[in-house]
């Protein structure tokens, strides 16, 4: 794919990388031989590719298609690759993409059915197939089928997309993709808390508060992911107690939500505990009486 001699770059690899990830891999990732060779290439050359190219930070959406299609086959490799996807610019998009892996698996399955002929599967997935064929949903599905970064971290109507894909909540590929998400999340947050800055960690709080109420359409996945998010948000505030002031408005908006069902109450209780633990001037001088009153209104 890219030619290197030792550590000397023979030519600018970016055009070749771009061509492969936007013109070739989108049509071949389902081939098990192609998937294996691409993943093996990335793992073997990880240390060299990170500083030499933008392969991982730019094209991770295309690579995640391989994981979504073969979640049980390549999870070990992607746990190694995931930290390479992260940068100041991509962290939020990577988090959304990991949380959306079951959706990606479902959309890829729909795309596969479209190649085979949708009529063969219309009886099992009528609503999803109708939506996939509807031009008004083209941009929504296109977000999940993107090959590179730059099209936004997520979509506005994520809840609607979950509804459209609900028929895939027992599909084996989608279930398998959902099962690897907690593993990926733990690597994601461990990396962020190890090498990320305060500002980078802070940028994820609003994403977590947004997504904890907008998870995929599989009940067991929702439960497992909320457990991980609860654990990790505690670690984030333990590392940076001033986040309680930085995100005062976001947190108070979340804890005053009226539509939290029983499944989300555990995360809610964690947020209430964080307020009681870290909303103090001993952690941050900005935590004035006015801020404390806002938390306890």
Helix/strand/coil for 8: strand
pLDDT of residue 9: 52
CA distance 180 to 184: 6
Strands (E), the chain: 4-5, 8-9
Distance CA 112, CA 3 (A): 32
Tens digit of pLDDT at every position of the chain (297 positions) = 444 444 555 566 778 888 999 999 999 999 999 999 999 999 999 988 887 678 899 999 999 999 999 999 999 999 999 999 999 999 999 999 999 999 999 999 999 988 777 565 767 888 999 899 899 999 999 999 999 997 767 778 899 999 999 999 999 999 999 999 999 999 999 999 999 999 999 999 999 999 998 998 898 999 999 999 999 999 999 999 999 999 999 999 888 876 666 657 788 889 999 999 999 999 989 988 888 888 876
pTM of the model: 0.91
Residue 116 has what pLDDT?
A: 75
What confidence score (pLDDT) does residue 257 get? 76
Would you state the structure tokens that stand for residue 248, as one six-digit string? 């005062």
């Amino acid at each position: 794919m890219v030619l290197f001699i030792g550590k000397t770059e023979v030519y600018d690899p970016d055009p070749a990388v771009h061509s492969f990830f936007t013109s070739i891999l989108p049509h071949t990732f389902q081939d098990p031989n192609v998937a294996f060779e691409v993943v093996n290439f990335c793992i073997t050359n990880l240390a060299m590719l990170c500083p030499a190219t933008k392969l991982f930070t730019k094209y991770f959406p295309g690579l995640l298609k391989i994981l979504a299609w073969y979640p049980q086959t390549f999870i070990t490799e992607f746990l190694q690759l995931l930290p390479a996807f992260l940068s100041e610019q991509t962290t939020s998009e990577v988090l959304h993409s990991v949380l959306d892996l079951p959706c990606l698996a479902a959309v890829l399955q729909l795309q596969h059915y479209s190649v085979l002929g949708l009529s063969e599967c219309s009886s099992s997935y009528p609503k999803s197939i109708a939506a996939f064929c509807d031009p008004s949903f083209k941009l929504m599905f296109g977000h999940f089928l993107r090959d590179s970064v730059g099209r936004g971290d997520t979509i506005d109507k994520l809840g609607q997309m979950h509804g459209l894909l609900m028929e895939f909540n027992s599909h084996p590929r989608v279930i398998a993709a959902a099962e690897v998400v907690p593993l990926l999340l733990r690597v994601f947050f461990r990396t962020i808390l190890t090498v990320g800055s305060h500002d980078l960690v802070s940028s994820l709080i609003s994403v977590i508060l947004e997504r904890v109420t907008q998870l995929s359409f599989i009940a067991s996945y929702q439960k497992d992911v909320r457990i991980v998010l609860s654990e990790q948000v505690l670690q984030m505030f333990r590392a940076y107690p001033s986040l309680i002031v930085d995100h005062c408005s976001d947190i108070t908006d979340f804890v005053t939500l009226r539509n939290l069902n029983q499944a989300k109450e555990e995360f809610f209780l964690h947020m209430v505990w964080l307020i009681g633990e870290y909303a103090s001037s001993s952690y941050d001088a900005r935590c004035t009486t006015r801020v404390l009153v806002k938390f306890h209104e």
